Amino acid sequence: MRMQLDHRLLDRQIVDADGLLVGRVDDVEFALDADGVPYLAALLTGRVALGQRIGGWTGRLLVAVAERFSGRRPASPLRIPYPLVARVDSTVRLRVRLDRLPTSPAEEFLRRHLIDRIPGADRASG
């Protein structure tokens, strides 16, 4: 399937199988098959992906903030393998639920530094 990535994919909202917001397509990742033909391997979302895509001082600032929140240097974007995409229309719809995706660095930071410090948070139903 051919598509123009800049118009069909970049900056589209990503929703899971239940319609819950995952993020936006901030960048894409390509790989090469056994014959050396490039293919779309993954969607990248998060401040790191966006910062690396736009570049310049604004991009470096986004990456620095993401690294501060994640506690990792270098920070990495949330990577969603393209085979998990069910279809692309006004949004990118995934085949899986949000809880089946890796946790975003921002979510990990909030859980570690905010949620886990709330009394009783370890007993919350989820």
Cα separation, 59 vs 69, in Å, equals 16
Which domain CATH number covers 88?
2.30.30.240
Encode 52-120 in three state secondary structure. Answer: HHHCHHHHHHHHHHHHHHHCCCCCCCEEEEHHHEEEECCCEEECCCHHHCCCCHHHHHHHHHCHHHCCC
Beta bridge pairs of residue 81:
42
pLDDT in tens, 10-68: 889 999 999 998 888 988 999 999 999 999 999 988 777 777 787 888 878 877 777 67
Domain extent at residue 105? 5-123
Can you read off the two tokens belonging to residue 14?
Answer: 């990503």
Give the residue from 61, 72, 59 showing the smallest Cα distance to 103.
72
**78-81 vs 38-45, strand pairing mode:** antiparallel
The residue written with tokens 């279809």 in the block is: 87
Percent of the chain topping pLDDT 70: 71
CB atoms within 10 A of CB 61: 12
Average the pLDDT over 87-102 and give the result: 90
pLDDT in tens, 31-45: 999 999 999 999 988
Please give the tally of structural domains in the chain.
1
pTM: 0.70
